[in-house]
């Protein structure tokens, strides 16, 4: 099982890189080599992000998601949606508004490569068990992969913050996440808060 998942993840990553490049090129005609002098600029941008998302991409702030180990394409896609004002995140509005396509791609590449770490939140074993059963019934793995490491536009759930995942799932269910992918809403439309909490404990524990 682990072996076959490993293969899955690796082949997934290869195609992520390809589609990320494709997407960035589709955004604008400027998809050549990065401009000289981009590196110091990138470091400055990363510094802004990690004030909230954690120095190593693993968030220690309540309700702020970790970015470490997210599929590159997921991060790129979300940043694009944010810059275009489709996914509205008030505290991030200023930092994303002036980013160029190559900045989005460089930031996505940076955070995707960092190793994900579980947060300091307490994982409840009873909720993990309940969440595992629900996850099987609702087929979370069919999109987020059996390891819940995510793929393409589907985010990593494993080791993500519990408080953030509960918030995110409530927002999908209640139709309050701007720019949300309706595939996700359809999955949890009938779930109550206790069930969402159990799912988050299970996902974080993977
Ligand atoms: C002032 C704090 C803050 C700063 C600075 C910030 N973010 Fe965020 N970011 C957030 C919060 C809060 C959310 C989750 C919002 C929500 O959905 O409720 C978020 C969400 C995200 C997401 C979506 C993640 C997911 O799992 O859905 C990405 C990607 C992201 N930020 C990338 C960045 C990058 C890259 C930077 C730097 C250019 C940055 N952020 C700067 C607070 C911040
Ligand atoms: C049909 C495919 C599909 C299935 C099945 C699915 N998801 Fe998702 N999920 C997605 C997609 C696509 C996104 C990103 C959506 C977006 O861009 O708004 C997502 C996003 C999420 C997020 C937000 C994470 C973040 O970092 O912002 C959470 C949490 C989540 N899913 C949990 C689950 C759980 C738990 C299950 C099983 C109960 C599940 N998903 C089943 C497709 C799916």
The answer to whether the CB of 151 falls within 8 A of the CB of 75 is no
**Whole-angstrom Cα distance, residue 168 to residue 161?**
11
Q: What is the pLDDT of residue 39?
A: 67
pTM for this structure? 0.87
Q: What is the pLDDT of residue 40?
A: 73
**Whole-angstrom Cα distance, residue 165 to residue 142?**
18
Ligand nearest to the CA of 151: 2
Probe target for ligand 1 pocket from 53, 58, 166, with the most ligand atoms within 8 Å of CB: 53
Probe target for ligand 1 pocket from 20, 89, 90, with the most ligand atoms within 8 Å of CB: 89
Identical fold for domains 16-27+37-113 and 125-205, yes or no, is yes
Q: What is the pLDDT of residue 134?
A: 98
**pLDDT tens digits for range 171-193:** 999 999 999 999 999 999 999 99
Nearest CA to 83 out of 105, 65, 98, 68 is that of 98
CATH number of 125-205: 1.10.760.10
Listed by start position, the domains of the chain span: 16-27+37-113, 125-205
Q: What is the dihedral of CA 31, 33, 34, 39, to 10 degrees?
A: 150
Nearest CA to 206 out of 161, 169, 159, 166 is that of 159
159 lines ligand 1 (CB under 6 A): no
CATH topology for 16-27+37-113 is Cytochrome Bc1 Complex; Chain D, domain 2 (1.10.760)
Residues of the chain short of pLDDT 70, as ranges, are 1-39
């Amino acid at each position: 099982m682990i072996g076959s998942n490993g293969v899955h993840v690796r082949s997934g990553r290869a195609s992520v890189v390809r589609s990320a490049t494709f997407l960035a090129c589709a955004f604008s005609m400027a998809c050549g080599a990065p401009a000289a002098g981009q590196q110091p600029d990138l470091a400055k941008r990363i510094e802004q992000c990690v004030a909230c998302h954690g120095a190593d991409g693993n968030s220690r702030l309540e309700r702020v998601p970790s970015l470490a180990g997210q599929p590159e394409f997921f991060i790129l896609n979300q940043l694009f949606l944010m810059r275009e004002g489709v996914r509205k995140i008030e505290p991030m509005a200023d930092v994303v508004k002036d980013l160029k396509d190559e900045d989005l791609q460089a930031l996505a590449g940076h955070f995707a490569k960092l190793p994900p770490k579980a947060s300091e939140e307490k994982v409840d074993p009873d909720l993990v068990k309940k969440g595992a059963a629900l996850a099987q019934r609702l087929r979370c793995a069919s999109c987020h992969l059996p390891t819940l490491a995510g793929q393409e536009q589907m985010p990593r759930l494993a080791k993500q913050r519990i408080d953030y995942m509960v918030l995110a799932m409530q927002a999908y269910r209640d139709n309050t996440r701007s720019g949300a992918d309706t595939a996700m809403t359809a999955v949890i439309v009938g779930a109550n808060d206790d069930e969402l909490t159990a799912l988050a404990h299970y996902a974080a524990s993977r």
